[in-house]
Amino acid sequence: MKKYSIFRAIFTILLTAGIASTLFLFFTPGEDLNTYIGNLNPASQVIDRELQPTLLPNEQSRIALVSGHWGYDLGHTCPPELNDLREIDVNLRVSTIVRDMLAEQGYQVDLLQEFSPELTDYTGLAIVAIHTDTCNYINGQATGFKVSGLGRIAYPAESDNLNNCLIDRYQRRTGMSYLGNTVSSDPELFYQYGQINDYTTASVIETGYLNLDYRTLTEKTDQVARGIADGILCYINNESSTTMLANKPAVVLDTEPAAETIYILPGIAALTP
């Protein structure tokens, strides 16, 4: 007959009680025990982390559009030969249409004035400032658009991606030429962009010249706006775009307007007094 040690019996009882109390502590009757066992499995923890990635501050649905000169001044103001066209009006019309296009896609779009206090620490997917270029006739090459990064560029690759998307999609929609990354708008207008959150990528687009691009800007405004909206969506959705364009040197133009002619519409010149 096999003999049992009283000490072994006591040890077995205590071990069994310890295991039972642990199970009761973590397991509620009616729930699947596999849930708790799975939590102890390192492989399942890796899967959970993949299914629930850590969200960065800019992974949300906010986009800001800054309508150039709005709330500050009129911007470029054209003569009667160009129907007294004002840059502020062109910028605001384009910005409003872009806002509506992006809102239709489910994004929260903030349409901001030039020096809006909301730019301070603004956190969102992107900021795009919308401007237009001078009314003056410079020469026959003064037609096209420009795109450049804004503010403190903490992530250059992101800035290039946004710029390239804007260039590629805007060019496709409007057929206009890309003139480079040097914008002509007043530098002081861009001071506030240094205050935005580093996670937010910002760019400025000058949509065209109010002189030679008059007809495109005023008669094909929907295409102008669609090109900007497409560019923003291209960046947000990480779509492919033409590469190596964001750092293209700007086309150098004579900054002195021609004395002999001005252009009312593309191809229609009027002699000046």
Evaluated on CA atoms 234, 237, 243, 245, the torsion sign reads: positive
Sorting pLDDT into bands at 50, 70 and 90, what band is 87? very high
What is the domain class of 62-268 according to CATH? alpha beta
Domain boundaries, the chain: 8-51, 62-268
Q: Tell me: the pLDDT tens digits for 16-41? A: 666 666 555 454 444 444 444 344 44
First to last CA, the chain: 129
Distance (Å, whole) CA 78 – CA 250:
24
Tell me the two tokens of residue 8: 């072994």
pLDDT at 45: 44
Whether 89 contacts 164, CB under 8 Å:
no
Res. 247: pLDDT tops 70: no
Res. 90: pLDDT tops 90: yes
Distance (Å, whole) CA 143 – CA 272:
21
Portion of the chain with pLDDT greater than 90, in percent: 55
Among 119, 96, 121, 94, residue whose Cα is nearest residue 109: 96
What kind and span of H or E run contains 207?
strand 201-209
pLDDT at 191: 72
pLDDT at 263: 47
- DSSP code at position 115: T
More confident residue, 64 or 185: 64
Mean pLDDT of 115-140: 94
For β-strands 146-149 and 201-209, DSSP reports them as antiparallel
Q: What mean pLDDT is reported for the chain?
A: 79
pLDDT at 194: 86
Mean pLDDT of 189-205: 87
Mean pLDDT of 45-58: 44
Sorting pLDDT into bands at 50, 70 and 90, what band is 259? very low
Mean pLDDT of 185-194: 73
